[in-house]
Each structure stands twice: as structure tokens, then as C-alpha cells.
A and B are shown apart, each in its own frame.
Chain A
Amino acid sequence: MKSAVTTVVAAADAAGRFPSMSDIEAVKGSFDRASSRMQAAEKLAAGIDKVTADAVDAVYGKGTYEQANKDKCARDIHHYLRLINYCLVTGGTGPLDEWGIAGMREVIRAQVLPTVAYIEAFTHIRDRVCVPRDMDEQAAAEFKGLLDYLINALA
């Protein structure tokens, strides 16, 4: 699982050397950012159902759709937000890459799903993050960065 620390350790191991000062600086840098990442993860975990519902409403608008359809959309958005929560905790994109993005394109194509709708949902979530109501500025930057990463993967 790729995270801030494992990336550094894997590189050191590939070279067969002990953690060097620059490795340790890199790890320390990620620890310094960890508190804002964890704040973002905590707030997202607390509000994940609300955020999901809000995004689904924004995507479907006022039209009438089958509830089953909307439920599936909510499930998927909830899933991706959960992975973003994990990425915030690890400090790397490992969870999204391994459990969210790998194979995503094939699955979406096979089921003829509109990726535009997901992009719309995540863009809505990204634009709705309010500083300092939801989280502080650095936390919001980490969260938005990961949302952008996912949007780029879907696009």
C-alpha cells in the first residue's frame, strides 16, 4: 500500500541503503502535514452520508428518476469518498489507486455508465467545501487535491 512512509522505505530498500537524512526529512514532512490530513479525514468521515446525499441531489436535480438508480449512484459516491478518507489517512494515493482507479475504466465502460455524472458529483463536492465552516484551509487543500486526482482519473 503506497503511503508517504512506505514510498520512502521502498526506495531505500531498492537501493539497499539505510534510511538517509533525506528519507527522514521526507517522512518528517509528511508527519508535519498529517494533522491537517487527519482533520480532513475526520470531518469527511463524520459527514460522509450528508456529503453523498448532497452530491446525489445536485447531480439528479429536480427531474424524476428511479430511486434504485439514485441509490446505486449514492453507493458509488460513498465508496469513492471512503477511499479518499483512506488516502487522507495514509498521505498517499495508494487506496484510491489500488481499490478505486485500477480497473475502474473497464468496469464503467462495461456497464455503460456516464462518467460525466460522477465528475459532476465530485466537482460539486469540491466546490462546496467551505473554509472554515467544514475544515481549515490546509485540510481543505488536501481534500480538494484528492478530489481533483479522482476527477482526473474519471475524465
Chain B
Amino acid sequence: MLDAFSRAVVAADAKGSPIGTNELASLRKYVSDANKRIDATLAITQNVSCIAADAVAGMVCENTGMTQPGGNCYPTRRMAACLRDGEIILRYVSYALLAGDPSILDDRCLNGLKETYMALGVPTANAVRAVEIMKAATVAIMTETNSGRKMFEGINSGSGAQCQEIAAEAASYFDRVISSIS
């Protein structure tokens, strides 16, 4: 498992040279953006059940057969498993976002996930759709383009407009999830 700092270290070690001024420039940017990163992580952790529930509900609404007998979200036990997986994916995305590196997401969540879903008969096309909705919701909350309560409301530090870059980074982690299970 790596983070932005240890990723730089592994790259430098491969060359056998110490980390100097040039390599430190991007890490200094990472540190100077730390507050945005923390706000963005909180945007996920404080809205987990909302994001996951909306995504699964959206997926089911588009495929109403899923909750009927014979559907993949029938009975509720299987729908609950779906909600749980949504939260697990969000958890690993929040770790990756905090660390500034996708390795924890790859190693501990995505590695073997597609095979597991295929073995369990989970329809991956629907799973991908749920992840897409979670991505859209997460980005909207971070950039304050969501309807409802705004992330920075009543807080006079930061705004959604300043979180574009970090929201794009979060979106890239969701894209990783999508490409690994599709």
C-alpha cells in the first residue's frame, strides 16, 4: 500500500537517488492542498449512506425487474448486499483519496472483485451503473453542484469551485472501479 509520498520514494529508489528539489515540488503541492483533500474525504464519509442508497435505488429504478422475484436484488437480503458493496467501494475510494494514491483501492478492493461478482452471478453492467451514480453524486457534493445542503454552507473556508481538481481525482478512482469490473 502506497501514498503520494511513498510512491515518490519507490520511484526514487528504483533510480537509486535521493529525493531532491524537483521531485519535492509535486509533493509540496499535495501538502498545500491538504485541506481540500480532507474536505473532499469528509464529503464522502459524511454522505456515505445517502450516496450508496441513491445509487442502488437509481440502478433499481432503471431496471425494475431487479426487485421482482427472479431479479438480482430479490429478496431484500440481496439488495442489502448491494448496499453494503456500495459502501465498501466508497470506503476504499475515501482511503485512496486521503492517501492521494489508488494502490489501496487496487490491492484491497478491486483485485479479484470482477471474478467474485462473476462467480456470484452479480450483473456487472448494473454494478457499473451504480458506481457511475455514486461517482456523479460524489463529484456533485464536492463541487457543491448538488441540490440540497451544500458542503461548505456556513463554513467560511473553501468553496465547491475550489474543489474541482480534487473532485476530478475522486472521479478517477471511481473510473478505476468501473473499468475493473466491466
Contacts and interface: CB of A to CB of B under 8 A. Distances in A.
B24 A12 contact: no
B9 interface: yes
Interface residues of B, number: 37
Contact of A90 (B6, B45, B108): B6
A43 to B, nearest CB: 10
Interface stretch (B68-76, B93-101, B115-123): B93-101
B151 to A, nearest CB: 15
Interface residues on A, range: 35 or more
B13 A86 contact: yes
B12 interface: yes
B94 A99 contact: no
A13 interface: yes
Nearest to B39: A24
Contacts, number: 111
Contact of A13 (B3, B6, B45, B95): B95
A38 B27 contact: yes
B161 interface: no
The secondary-structure label for the interface of chain B is helix
Interface in B80-95: 90-91, 94-95
B50 interface: no
A42 B12 CA distance: 13
B113 interface: no
13 contacts: A5-B5, A6-B2, A9-B1, A9-B99, A18-B90, A19-B41, A19-B98, A24-B38, A34-B27, A41-B19, A85-B18, A86-B13, A86-B19
